[in-house]
């Protein structure tokens, strides 16, 4: 998302009757998007529709309605507009982001307005009504960033956009990426001491029932001169996945499932990161881990779960490789 100027709704005054009061949203970028309010205080995004553009109707989105209507702007001829109306004040922040993204698409894409609106609304429908009360913790941001970096830098370049469908972490699967014969656990850390990771359960590094388990250890530093952060990485992935509907749907559902919302993208942008190094291991009997098999039968009485910290700095020589160029399984 490249629009840097946000819509200023406070500039508009309530009209009377069935009129709308509106302005061009981003006149320096496009003349085809207006923002307006009606006498009830509902907010509207108005997109001029092309003659060959089909009428648009959508009442499936909670808090938003979309229709095609003829409107007359003062001093101009009557034109056909796609009218996106926000009916829920709790969605105002997301509605602004919808407007910004539509503005970018109208500027940078030659798609028909109805197609642009459909794509943007389908994306944001997943987040509407599911805005988390708080941003993800720093630890969760690092974890999500590491999984997405691995997906963008390693999986997709080697296996294509549909490899995104192997991403299972957000839904509580044992391992972050699960294929038929391969599972991959991603661990990212900001630890100044190097490759030190917290393992949240005895299951996390347990081998899958079939196939092999691998672990990617990603060492990250905070770098305020870097442009790499969660929103930037998500934008890169959206570009990589744009030609696969299944992949983009799975990706955005995963973000929603894990609790990431673009409504907080300004906050997430503050954590700028740099990848220092990344090592890739096969998790086997030589790898430092604790699993249930370490106990004779079951966990000791009254012990429900165990988490531990693994330091693999002294195990780096056992890595399969430390370069994305080597990633072929």
211 to each of 48, 66, 206, how far by Cα in Å?
54, 48, 12
308 close to 290: Cβ distance less than 8 angstroms? yes
The pLDDT value given to residue 309: 97
Residue 242's DSSP bridge partners are: none
Q: Classify residue 137 by burial, with Cβ atoms within 10 Å: 0-12, 13-18, 19+.
A: exposed
- Residues 79 and 156 occupy one common structural domain: no
**Secondary structure letter of residue 174 according to DSSP:** S
4 within domain boundaries: no
In three-state secondary structure terms, 78 is strand
2 within domain boundaries: no
Structural domain ending residue among the three candidates 125, 152, 185? 125
87 within domain boundaries: yes
Residue 228 tokens, joined: 């790499």
Q: What is the DSSP string of 192-222?
A: TTSSEEEE-STTTTSPPSSSEEEEEEEEEEE
Angstrom distance (rounded) from CA 34 to CA 36: 7
Task: Domain count for the chain, please give it.
Answer: 2
- Residues 82 and 18 occupy one common structural domain: yes
99 close to 22: Cβ distance less than 8 angstroms? no
153 to each of 229, 249, 265, 271, 312, how far by Cα in Å?
14, 19, 21, 19, 22
Q: How many Cβ atoms are within 10 Å of 163's Cβ, its own excluded?
A: 18
- Residues 121 and 143 occupy one common structural domain: no
60 within domain boundaries: yes
In three-state secondary structure terms, 264 is helix
pTM of this structure: 0.77
Spans of the chain below 70 pLDDT: 1-5, 51, 60-61, 74-76, 129-133, 296-297, 323-329
Q: How many Cβ atoms are within 10 Å of 129's Cβ, its own excluded?
A: 13
205 within domain boundaries: yes
Sheet of strand 43-48, all strands in order from the earlier edge strand to the far edge: 20-24, 33-38, 43-48, 78-86, 64-72
283 within domain boundaries: yes
- Residues 107 and 182 occupy one common structural domain: no
- Residues 116 and 168 occupy one common structural domain: no
133 within domain boundaries: no
The pLDDT value given to residue 328: 45
All residues at 6 or more sequence positions from 18 whose CB lies less than 8 Å from its CB, including other chains: 38, 39
The pLDDT value given to residue 292: 82
Structural domain ending residue among the three candidates 125, 157, 177? 125
289 within domain boundaries: yes
Strands 212-222 and 196-199: unpaired
The pLDDT value given to residue 60: 65
- Residues 110 and 164 occupy one common structural domain: no
Structural domain ending residue among the three candidates 90, 125, 160? 125
- Residues 37 and 104 occupy one common structural domain: yes
Angstrom distance (rounded) from CA 66 to CA 97: 16
Whole domain around residue 164: which residue ranges?
138-326
152 close to 240: Cβ distance less than 8 angstroms? yes
């Amino acid at each position: 998302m490249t629009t840097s100027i946000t819509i200023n709704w406070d500039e508009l005054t309530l009209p009377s009757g069935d009129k709308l009061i509106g302005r061009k949203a981003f006149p320096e970028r496009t003349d085809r998007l207006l923002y307006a309010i009606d006498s009830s205080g509902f907010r509207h995004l108005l997109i001029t529709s092309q003659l060959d553009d089909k009428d648009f109707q959508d009442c499936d989105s909670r808090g938003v309605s979309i229709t095609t209507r003829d409107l007359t702007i003062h001093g101009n001829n009557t034109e056909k507009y796609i009218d996106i109306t926000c009916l829920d004040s709790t969605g105002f922040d997301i509605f602004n982001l919808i407007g910004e993204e539509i503005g970018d698409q109208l500027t940078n894409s030659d798609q028909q307005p109805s197609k642009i609106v459909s794509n943007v609304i389908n994306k944001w429908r997943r987040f509407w009504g599911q805005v988390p009360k708080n941003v993800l913790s720093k630890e969760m941001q690092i974890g999500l960033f590491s999984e997405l970096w691995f997906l963008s830098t390693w999986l997709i370049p080697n296996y294509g956009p549909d490899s995104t469908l192997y991403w299972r972490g957000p839904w509580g699967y044992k391992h972050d990426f699960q294929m038929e014969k391969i599972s991959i656990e991603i661990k990212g850390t900001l630890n100044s001491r190097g490759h030190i990771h917290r393992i949240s359960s005895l299951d996390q590094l347990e081998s899958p029932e079939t196939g092999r388990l691998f672990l990617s250890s990603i060492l990250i530093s905070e770098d305020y001169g870097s442009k790499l952060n969660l929103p930037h990485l998500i934008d890169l992935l959206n570009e990589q996945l744009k030609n696969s509907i299944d992949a983009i749907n799975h990706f955005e559902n995963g973000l929603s499932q894990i609790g990431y919302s673009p409504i907080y993208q300004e906050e997430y942008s503050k954590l700028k990161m740099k990848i220092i190094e990344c090592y890739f291991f096969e998790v086997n009997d030589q790898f430092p881990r604790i699993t249930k098999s370490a106990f004779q039968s079951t966990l000791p009485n009254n012990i429900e779960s165990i988490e531990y910290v693994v330091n693999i700095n002294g195990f780096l020589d056992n890595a399969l490789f430390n370069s994305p160029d080597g990633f072929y399984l």
